[in-house]
Amino acid sequence: MYIKILNFSTRLEQLVKYFGKFGAWLSLPLIFIIIFDVITRRFFILGSTKIQEMEWHLHTAIFLLTLGYAYINNAHVRIEIIREKYSSVLKSIFEILGILFFLIPYTFMIIYYGLDFVSRSYNLNEVSSALTGLSHRWIIKSFIPIGMLMLFLAGVSIMLKNILFVIAKLKKDQKILIKFFKEDPC
């Protein structure tokens, strides 16, 4: 049973990491667009609303696609000064409760309303409010539910690992702890 749940958790992590790495690679076109924008503005006194909007769109896509990746890699903000004095089991219990009561409801709500947000934008054929801005505003808005879905999946993956860790610790199952948990899951 441990192995099946951990394999499922690992598959979720792999999916989230794939989207996170894709989001990270979006940094390259963002860098080139910013360099192009700076050079054309500074030396050729040209400005483009489309280029500026593309910069903002890429920033948004990068941020939303890498949220789950950051959570899985434990690169998010924590209040370590409070957490450090607790045992690894209590830290895992706090992580489980945080995921259950905060992360899952929050991401579910954003996904639910985000899909409606994208749908309305698509149906209205929403475009930029700037006359020379980008069209198809629904494309960038679709990153909101996608990014929250990745964060949701990351939370489920980490929650499963923490639940198994707590169960193994409480049962004092050293084989499972040594085989699967070389370090604390949270």
**49-98 residue pLDDT tens:** 888 889 999 999 999 999 999 999 988 777 667 777 888 889 899 999 99
Q: How many domains does the chain have?
A: 1
Two tokens, residue 154: 């990351």
171-179 long-range contacts, Cβ below 8 Å, gap at least 24? 176/2
Specify the pLDDT at position 22. 96
pLDDT tens per residue across span 21-54? 999 999 999 999 999 999 988 888 777 888 888 9
In a domain, 49, yes or no: yes
Q: In this structure, is residue 186 part of a structural domain?
A: no
pLDDT of 137 over the 90 cut: no
The reply to whether 185 falls in a domain is no
Q: How far is CA 110 from CA 17, 73, 90, 113, 138, in A?
A: 21, 22, 29, 5, 16
Q: Is the pLDDT of residue 174 over 80?
A: no
**Whole domain around residue 91: which residue ranges?**
2-180
| Burial class, 71, CB count within 10 angstroms (exposed 0-12 / middle 13-18 / buried 19+) | buried
What CA–CA distance (Å, rounded) separates 143 from 60? Answer: 8
